[in-house]
Amino acid sequence: MTARTLDGQKIRDQIFAELSDEVRLLTAAGVRPGLAAVLVGENPASQLYVKSKIAACQQLGLSSALLTPPATVSTLHLLAVVEDLNRDNDVDGILVQLPLPPQVDTKRILEAVDPAKDVDGFHPVNLGRLVSGRPGLVACTPAGCMEILRRNDIKIEGANAVVLGRSDIVGKPMALLLMHANATVTICHSKTRGLPDLLRRADIIVAAMGKAGYLEADWIKPGAAVIDVGTNRITDHKEAERLFHGFPDRLEKFRAKGSALVGDVHPGAVNIAGALTPVPGGVGPTTIAMLMSNTVKAARLRRASPKFSATQSTTSAR
Ligand code: GUN
């Protein structure tokens, strides 16, 4: 049996169609939602990500601004950049692309973002709201994974879900979202013992540990839904042979190009899982869709309640 493809592009298109109606209504009422992206230095992967986020704003009719401080920027200078954006009434969403250079105190920067404009959902206030099940802005990648599950009618309630990876950005919020949707959640990481047996009990697996093809196909329960958050570029021929054994077309493409994108799940999972996100074209597009959704939501909430922003600012950890 071949796994059903969980097409992230299709879901992104659905969400964009829903949002474009809302953007039209807001814009007609004189409120054009706006996103400001802060891209520090010249990391090619970050440049690519931010470019697609700005392109999404343009496609939806949101205003966007791109700030590009140099890689040598100090924490204090970056704090000043964020403060300016906090005060700018035309900016509804602030996104500081990660990773930041080593001299910058990343946590301090993320805590400086006004929680009402925190469209990445990284601020401790928004994380706290997620923990306690109160409305707030939720991190885009885990929120996108939930959309993939829900819009494909994958039953979450009562399911055994395993989240592989415990990052602040994906693993932890993902586990909370699944728990709030009444799944029984196990969080696994590099020190977990007996991982294959834990995974074999899972109806839903979310793989987010950032290791190319780490999750072997025979660790998956036949028919399970597998969400692959990883995006890893491989260049090693031996690794390509391990991963693309049984996929001659992909191996051929790798040989021609010298590299390939693979997820955290071994491609052989397609023969065991019941449903699987492709890489690329699975989680990535839904992450961008949720960023747009958060920006529109932030614009709506800030205008609906002018106090929303100010109140949240005073409670932010500064
Ligand atoms: N770097 C990797 N993923 C993300 C993300 O979702 N948001 C930001 N700001 N940076 C990232």
Q: What is the pLDDT of residues 110-168, one digit of tens each?
A: 999 999 999 999 999 999 999 999 999 999 999 999 999 999 999 999 999 999 999 99
Residue 2 Cα to ligand 1 middle (Å)? 32
Q: What is the pLDDT of residues 68-91, one digit of tens each?
A: 999 999 999 999 999 999 999 999
Does ligand 1 lie within 6 Å of residue 118's CB atom?
A: no
Residue of 98, 104, 141 best suited for mutating to test ligand 1, as the one with most atoms within 8 Å of CB: 98
**pLDDT of 57:** 98
User: CB-hemisphere CA count at 13 Å for 61?
Assistant: 15
pLDDT at 256 over 90: yes
pLDDT at 308 over 90: no
Residue with tokens 């600012």, as numbered in its chain? 313
Residue with tokens 């805590």, as numbered in its chain? 111
| CB contact at 8 A, 160 and 203 | yes
Residue 284: pLDDT band (50, 70, 90) is: very high
Residue of 43, 46, 117, 120 best suited for mutating to test ligand 1, as the one with most atoms within 8 Å of CB: 120
CB atoms within 10 A of CB 151: 15
Q: What is the pLDDT of residues 167-218, one digit of tens each?
A: 999 999 999 999 999 999 999 999 999 999 999 999 999 999 999 999 999 9
Does ligand 1 lie within 6 Å of residue 120's CB atom?
A: yes
**pLDDT of 307:** 52
**CA 140 to CA 129: how far, in whole Å?**
15
Phi–psi pair at 165, nearest 5 degrees: 120, 140
Residue 310: pLDDT band (50, 70, 90) is: very low
Residue of 53, 97, 140 best suited for mutating to test ligand 1, as the one with most atoms within 8 Å of CB: 97
Does ligand 1 lie within 6 Å of residue 162's CB atom?
A: no
Q: Nearest Cα to 131, choosing from 90, 177, 181?
A: 177
Residue 304: pLDDT band (50, 70, 90) is: confident
Q: What is the DSSP letter of 158?
A: T
Residue 23: pLDDT band (50, 70, 90) is: very high
Q: What is the pLDDT of residues 24-66, one digit of tens each?
A: 999 999 999 999 999 999 999 999 999 999 999 999 999 999 9
Average of per-residue pLDDT values in the chain: 95
Give all domains of the chain, ordered by start, each with its CATH number. 29-114 (3.40.50.10860), 140-283 (3.40.50.720)
CB atoms within 10 A of CB 127: 21
- The question of whether 155 is a catalytic residue gets the answer no
Residue 219 Cα to ligand 1 middle (Å)? 29
Q: Which of 7, 53, 118, 172 is catalytic?
A: 53
Q: Residue 66: helix, strand or coil by DSSP?
A: strand
- The question of whether 59 is a catalytic residue gets the answer no
Pick left, alpha or beta for residue 41 (phi over 0 → left; psi -120 to 50 → alpha; otherwise beta).
left
**pLDDT of 303:** 83
Pairing of strands 34-38, 260-262: unpaired
**CA 51 to CA 178: how far, in whole Å?**
30
Does ligand 1 lie within 6 Å of residue 141's CB atom?
A: yes
Q: Is the pTM of this model over 0.75?
A: yes
**pLDDT of 317:** 30
| CB contact at 8 A, 115 and 103 | no
Residue 98 Cα to ligand 1 middle (Å)? 5
Residue 29 Cα to ligand 1 middle (Å)? 31
